[in-house]
Amino acid sequence: MKPGLALQLENITVKYRQNVAVQQLSMSVERGEIVAILGPNGSGKSTTLSVAAGILEPAEGIVHAGGIAQKSNPRGFAKLVGFVPQEAALYEDLSAEANLHFFGKLYGLGGYDLRCRVALALDRVKLTDRGQDRVSTFSGGMKQRVNLAVALLHDPPLLLLDEPTASLDPKSRELLFADLHRLREAGHAILLTTHHLDEAETSCDRLVMLNKGSVVAQGRPAELIRHRAGGKAVLYGHLQEPLPQFFVKGLRKRLGREVEIEVTGRRLRIAAESQELLGMALATILSDGIILETFRTPPGRLETLMRHAEQERPIAEVV
Amino acid sequence: MLSSIRVVLTLAQKDLSLFFADRRGAALAFVVPILLASAFGMIFAKPPEESKAIQLPLLIVVEDRGDFTNIVAESVLKSPRVQGERVTREEAIRRIADRRPGIAVIFPCGFEQLKTNKLNQPGQRPNVEVLHHPLCANEAQWAEGILAECVLQRLASEHLTPLIGSSALTMPFEIRTRESTGPQEGFNSYSHSFSGMTLQYLLFWGMESGLLLLRDRQRSVWLRLRAAPVSLWNVLLGKAVATTLLAFLQVLVTFGFGYCVFGVTVSGSMAGFLGLAVAVSLLSAATGLMVAALGGTEMRARSVCILVILGVSLLGGLWLPSFVLPSWARDLSLALPTTWAMRGFDAATWQGRDFLTVLPSLAVVFGFTVVFLGLAFTQLLTSEARRRRGYT
């Protein structure tokens, strides 16, 4: 393992029974960088992260963190990793402080050191005044912040986050990325999964694009975008209320095949072949009484890359 | 080793904190078995006035007009063991259907002939009909006994008066009925109900703990636990320790209440009682882990568990003494840990037996616990290893 690398995955293959979820995947994360794994649903993002966290055992390949192989020293490996599952992995009936104390003890912390770390962690996520409150009384954003605080308690050099922004509103998302950027500055290596291209493009140092369990592209966002081809008009929005499935289906039917609509929780993504079509789709949605808290149309270049990736067109590896 | 013990205790402490986080829920978990045990104890306790003479509600139908028949019917009605009433056959049939009461004795036409029959001679015998509600078969046997006593008493009087010169024959002996409970003579119906209901509730608590583990395994918090530097052994041991501690507390609280309010005492070996309390608490934890290991889905596990727990409670004599069960069920119950736990508790509490008498029960309950824990650990470790390799 090269010095400076916080995580290295070498030729990882993961199988769910006979189905290959990840095939011959190799990637690494350096200290002081944020790497995003991108890909459509079922591309192997969460599986890769689970392997990196030591939760899943690959059929083939080696996982190293800070020079420790997961297979030969699982406990030593686990202490170097802070894992943040997609949903808040907390005991809702316990207070934030009790959750932090519990998980801290599992990592061998205790006494005065643990008390100091818990206080610091709560301060870091701006929840000092709510530390004694049950997690069940917290908002989604607050839970996600405690979720992150738990993973940081033992000060791991490597942080793994599975879809950390999936259920967050725009403000909580910004706060989370601000936290991640601070951690990056402090020398932590961060690997996260997302299928939100906007945040990957703007907030991450490096991207790894997966499709059907294989890496189809990886590199810095700007470098990847230089290799783009074609374009698609895209709009990212944040809904005031989540939409029921039947409503989304109806909307898709009305807008036709030229417009793609994707709703994840309260996040909306519309992609269309042209700006006109995108405008029409937005007008239809707004006329249905759907309220968008925010929306923006990013350059859409990563979108194109992703489309290529999904269609398995060859994209040159940039790095 | 030390760090492993610390981790197990941390995990157990977390489960205890979660249990007591819902204070009302926790309080109810202690109150419910006490209420159940009190209710069962009250139902089976005999107030002193009732214990002297329990009367059988009975309908008498007299269709024969003979004097002998009438005298027999009257003697049945006047029996101190009967709370009788004369009615017609139609009314008896109607009232039995409604179980008001559930038994009727019918003296049909021709019963008078019994008076002139020679005793102990072959020939046609008059019939007496005993009608009963389907749920009153035991009471019917009781009625047959009273009837036999009254008829034979009257017949003896008819046949022996010429010889001994007295028209009234009484029972030639006195029956003295009393409870026999062993050397300590400390029977208290609450002792049985508190043992039974505590055991039953421990099984339910074990089930609940197993379902919690099953639920946890489906949640993201399980992923965090599996990513932590903690072995699955530690996680399972932590769960078992927490369940055992809460179950032990349950035993102490329930019996403590029984002692303070209903005079339930440990008349026999205290060491045997405490040993059993530990054994059944461990059994509760083992049951929980079995549920988590074999349950599949939560809904499936809950349904199967309720069926099993109610079944082993009934067969193990947790609700009613096992002598009311048919003999095949009594034989079957020997294969259940609840039967042995109940025997042990009965021996240590109201029967006042020593430690050696409790020891076999203790050994059997521990044996079951070890087997259950072994099965549960093997299954859970195997399934988790398969899950890690992507097989489930």
A162: closest chain B residue by CA:
B220
Kindly tell me if the per-residue pLDDT of B50 is higher than 80: no
Residues of B in contact with A106 (CB under 8 A): 7, 10-11, 225, 228-230
Among the listed ranges A263-267, A315-319, B202-206, B269-273, which one has the minimum average pLDDT value? A315-319
Q: Report the candidate in B57, B64, B54 with the shortest Cα–Cα distance to residue B129.
A: B64
Show Cβ contacts of residue A155 under 8 Å, excluding neighbours closer than 6 positions: A117
Give the pLDDT of residue A225: 58
The SS3 of residue A81 is: strand
For chains A and B, CB pairs below 8 A equal 81
Work out the minimum CA distance from B387 to partner chain A, whole angstroms. 8
Are A105 and B221 inside 8 Å of each other by CB? Answer: no
DSSP state of A130: G
**pLDDT for residue A317:** 38
Q: Do A86 and B220 touch (CB under 8 A)?
A: yes
Tell me the per-residue pLDDT of A60-72, one tens digit each, with 9 for 90 and over.
Answer: 999 999 888 998 8
Q: Quick check: B224 and A150 CB within 8 A?
A: yes
Q: Which residues of B touch A105 (CB under 8 A)?
A: 6-7, 10
Q: Is residue A259 helix, strand or coil? A: strand
Contact A57 B388 (CB under 8 A): yes
The pairing of strands B129-132 and A233-239 is unpaired
Phi-psi region of B296 (alpha: psi -120 to 50; beta: other; left: phi over 0): left
**Per-residue pLDDT tens digits for A123-154:** 888 889 999 999 999 988 889 889 989 998 99
Q: Is the minimum CB–CB distance between B221 and chain A shorter than 8 Å? A: yes
Please, what is the average pLDDT of chain B? 86
Closest CA to B292 of B383, B210, B221: B210
**C-alpha dist (Å) from residue A237 to A282, A302, B129, B370:** 10, 17, 86, 58
Average pLDDT, chain A: 84
Q: Does B89 touch chain A (CB under 8 A)?
A: no
Q: Mutation target for A interface from B220, B232, B234, B386: give the one with most A CBs within 10 A.
A: B220
Cα B230 from chain centroid? 43
DSSP track, A168-231: --HHHHHHHHHHHHHHHHTT-EEEEEES-HHHHHHH-SEEEEEETTEEEEEE-HHHHHHT--S-
pLDDT band at A233 (very low <50, low <70, confident <90, very high): confident
Which residue in A has a C-alpha nearest to residue B7's C-alpha? A106
Nearest to B228 among A56, A57, A106 (CB): A106
Q: If you average pLDDT over residues B105-117, what whole number do you get?
A: 84
Tokens of B256: 């403590």
- pLDDT tier for residue B161 given thresholds of 50, 70 and 90: confident
Is pLDDT at B100 greater than 80 in this prediction?
Answer: yes
The candidate with the shortest Cα–Cα distance to B272, out of B358, B158, B184, is B358
Inter-axis angle of helices A245-255 and A275-287, to 10 degrees? 140
Q: In 3-state terms, what secondary structure has residue A155?
A: coil
Q: What is the pLDDT of residue B277?
A: 96
Q: Which residues of A touch B (CB under 8 A)?
A: 14-17, 21, 50, 53-57, 59, 74-76, 78-79, 81, 83, 85-91, 93-94, 98, 102-103, 105-108, 134, 150
Q: What percent of chain B clears pLDDT 90, i.e. is strictly above it? A: 46
- A175-208 burial, b if ≥16 CB within 10 A, otherwise e? bbbebbeebbeeebbbbbbbbbbbbbbebbebbb
Amino acid (one-letter) located at B301: A
Give the tens place of pLDDT for each residue, B134-160: 888 888 898 999 998 888 888 888 777
Partners of A83 on chain B (C-beta within 8 Å) are 223-224, 227
B388 in reach of chain A (CB within 8 A): yes
**Section A175-184 average pLDDT:** 87
Residue A299 has pLDDT above 60, yes or no: no
Helix B232-262 / helix B355-388 crossing angle, nearest 10 deg: 150
pLDDT computed for residue B178 by the predictor: 67
| Residue whose entry in the numeric block shows the structure tokens 């995003």 | A36
Strand positions, DSSP E, chain A: 5-16, 19-30, 34-38, 60-65, 68-69, 81-84, 158-162, 189-194, 206-211, 214-219, 233-239, 259-264, 267-272, 292-296
For B250-275, write each residue's pLDDT tens digit: 999 999 999 999 888 888 899 999 99
CB B108 within 8 A of CB B60: no
* Residue of A91, A99, A159 to mutate when probing chain B, most B C-beta within 10 A: A91
The burial of B249, by beta-carbon neighbours within 10 Å (0-12 exposed, 13-18 middle, 19 or more buried), is given as middle
Higher-confidence position of A49 and A178: A49
**Picking from A204-208, A255-259, B320-324, which range would have the lowest pLDDT averaged per residue?**
B320-324
Question: Cβ of B229 and A53 within 8 Å?
Answer: no
User: Could you say which of A76, A83, A91 has the minimum Cβ distance to residue B227?
Assistant: A83
What local confidence, expressed as pLDDT, does residue B128 receive?
A: 87
Residue A92 has pLDDT above 70, yes or no: yes
Q: How confident is the model at residue B185 (pLDDT cuts 50, 70, 90)?
A: low
- Is the pLDDT score of A318 beyond 50? no
What is residue A315's predicted lDDT score, i.e. its pLDDT?
Answer: 40
Q: Is the pLDDT of residue A220 over 90?
A: no
Least confidently predicted of A142-156, A301-315, B366-380: A301-315
B10 chain-A contacts, CB cut-off 8 A: 102, 105-106
Give the confidence band of A202 by pLDDT, cuts at 50, 70, 90: confident
Predicted pLDDT at B167: 57
Q: How confident is the model at residue A319 (pLDDT cuts 50, 70, 90)?
A: very low
Q: Is B389 on the interface with A (CB under 8 A)?
A: yes
Mean pLDDT over residues B102-124, rounded?
79
Contact state of B390 with A15 under an 8 Å Cβ cutoff: yes
Predicted confidence at residue A258, as pLDDT, reads 83
- What's the pLDDT at A30? 92
Question: Does B6 sit within 8 Å of A107, measured CB to CB?
Answer: no
Give the per-residue pLDDT at A228: 43
Q: Could you say which of A21, A93, A103 has the minimum Cβ distance to residue B21?
A: A93
Mean pLDDT on A262-284: 82
B22 touching A, CB under 8 A?
yes
According to the model, what pLDDT value does residue A259 have? 87
Among the partner-chain residues A15, A56, A93, the one whose CB lies closest to the CB of B22 is A93
Residues 6+ apart with CB under 8 A from A306: A38, A39, A40, A197, A209
B10–A102 C-beta distance less than 8 A = yes
SS3 assignment, position A4: coil
Q: Is the pLDDT of residue B125 over 50?
A: yes
Residue A92 and residue A136 in contact, taking contact as beta carbons nearer than 8 Å: yes
Assess whether pLDDT exceeds 80 at residue B54: no
Cα end-to-end distance, chain B, whole Å = 31
Q: Are strands A292-296 and A233-239 parallel, antiparallel or unpaired?
A: antiparallel
Cβ separation B388–A55 shorter than 8 A: yes
Residues A182/A125, Cβ–Cβ less than 8 Å: no
Q: What is the ipTM of this complex?
A: 0.74
Q: Name the CA dihedral angle for A57, B219, B202, B297, rounded to a multiple of 10 degrees.
A: -80
